[in-house]
Amino acid sequence: MKKLLYIYIIVNSFFVFSQKNEVLDSIPPNYEDYILVKPGDSITIELNEITLLPKQKFTSREDIRYYLWFRKKVFKAYPYAKLASKRLDSLNARLNRIDSKRKRKKYTKQVQKYIEGEFTDQIKKMTRTEGRILIKLIHRQTGKTAFDNIKTLRSGFKAFWYNTTANLFKLSLKLEYQPETENEDYLIEDVLQRAFQDDKLIAQKSKLDFDFAEIISDKKAKIDVEVYKAMFAKMRKKKQKKKKKQKRR
């Protein structure tokens, strides 16, 4: 809820009069950005809404390490999801100003190639976890799944083809962002909200409707990273097996 801060300033009229010239001389060149307050005036300042997040609850110090690892993944993926949202918003705004169907089609194809090339190259450089986070964040930032965005821009067949490609990496472009029910999405949102609050990431409002303050309250700020601990345990076992095979040879 936005709060209104009322500041009442009462200054002795004689003091103001005697200091009038000095005050005017001290006004910076960009005086349009300032407000000159006279005795008896009141100022209403509208403040941005700030959500104070509760302190996170970890089961062990090891869990903190895994959370910090996960946070790096979110920090890497978020800028691309944010950029995707800007690109699509710009596309839609421009299309609304183009009357000719031929010009609309031509412009859409140009943006399609740019977006596809830009994000395909980035996804190739990402790990599976980062790719999954990016796909979910695209849903968060655009309001549509990656699959639906491609389907809208190109065609059902093109979306199907891209989804098949993503499946080669065990990823689905149909993944949705559901911080209310999915633990990983809850962790992503926790990372984002804290990063926004600490000015570590530039906030971009989600186009999905959810109340994270309510979600984190229901979760009691607990951080569950067991999935990632199990994932790394499997990776370690595979490495050990490879080493054993190499020794036998």
Look at residue 116 in the predicted model and tell me its pLDDT: 67
What predicted TM-score, i.e. pTM, was given to this entire model? 0.74
Interval 123-164: pLDDT, tens: 677 888 998 999 999 999 999 998 888 787 776 666 666 666
More confident residue, 92 or 22: 92
Region of 40 please: left (phi>0), alpha (psi -120 to 50) or beta. left
Band the pLDDT of 220: cuts 50, 70, 90: very high
Band the pLDDT of 118: cuts 50, 70, 90: low
Interval 162-204: pLDDT, tens: 666 676 567 888 999 999 999 999 999 999 999 999 999 999 9
